[in-house]
Amino acid sequence: MLDLNAATWPEVKEAVEKGAVAVLAVGALEQHGHHLPLSTDTVMSQGVARRIAETIDGLLLPPIAYGDAWNNEAFAGTISLGPDTIRAVLIDIGRGLARGGFKALVIINGHFGNREPIALAARALKMEHGFPVLHLDYPGMERIASEVCDSKPAAPTFYHADEVETSMMLALAPELVRMDKAASEYPVFPKTFGMEAMGLDTFNRSGVFGDPRPATAVKGEALMAGILEQSVRLIQAWLSKVG
């Protein structure tokens, strides 16, 4: 495994020639309540991406630290890229990897709002540039969360500043977590949620969705391990096909 932040070009040259795969985390700078940092989605996705790169002997790219979190913009410090900009960033990186002889790219997405730009970039890179991209959204998280967590998510598969994310942050970057400020909020979703452009602040006060208080690093490790296992299985199935 090679971390491109630390590597030199001759090292990358050697790894690329051996067929190493690039791994890229896409996070966000987005509010995560009073107890988690704005970088939560970046820290988590980069944490998962690093473990994946270690396991598959991949080339770990620097993470994208900004995502599309426009619906949390009313919470201070939430700074977004537009969806077209995210797509452009990923296409530029993917084309650079393709020109550089990289074999393939695995994207680890840490933020819901990035899904579509990532999917569109992957489509463009495959269809127009013939470069294979696999994009993962924490595969297996829902199942593991239901096993290890004591609290319920605010909505199905909706994990934001809750027990799941707080546990993973406690495992990855405990120095960034203020458990003393962790508080529960189960907002009532408006009927037309997801059907109109709507700021989350219109029905959520703290920035938390669910109950972060039962979070522990041990649960976070379990979540990470499960996601890692499932991710690696998917990557290997995919590589056997695109390789």
Q: 158 to 197, contacts with a copy of itself by CB under 8 A?
A: 176, 178, 181, 191-192, 195-197
Half-sphere exposure of 148 (CA within 13 A, CB side): 25
CA distance 81 to 83: 6
* Minimum CB–partner distance for residue 225 and a copy of itself (Å): 19
Query: Smaller CB distance to a copy of itself: residue 35 or 111?
Result: 35
Q: Which of residues 217-236 bind a copy of itself (CB under 8 A)?
A: 233-234
- Asked whether the beta carbons of 29 and 65 are under 8 A apart, the reply is yes
Q: Which of residues 91-150 bind a copy of itself (CB under 8 A)?
A: 92-93, 96-97, 99-101, 116, 119-120, 122-123, 125-127, 132-137, 139
In this chain, which of 1, 54, 55, 70 binds a copy of itself, going by CB under 8 A?
70
Query: Smaller CB distance to a copy of itself: residue 102 or 159?
Result: 102
Q: Compute how many residues bind a copy of itself; rule: CB under 8 A.
A: 78
| Stretch (H or E) spanning 148 | helix 141-148
CA distance 184 to 127: 45
Asked if 4 is part of the footprint of a copy of itself (rule: CB under 8 A), the reply reads yes
* Minimum CB–partner distance for residue 132 and a copy of itself (Å): 7
CB environment 115-146: b (16+ within 10 A), e (fewer): bebbebbbebbeeeeebbbbbbbbbbbeebbe
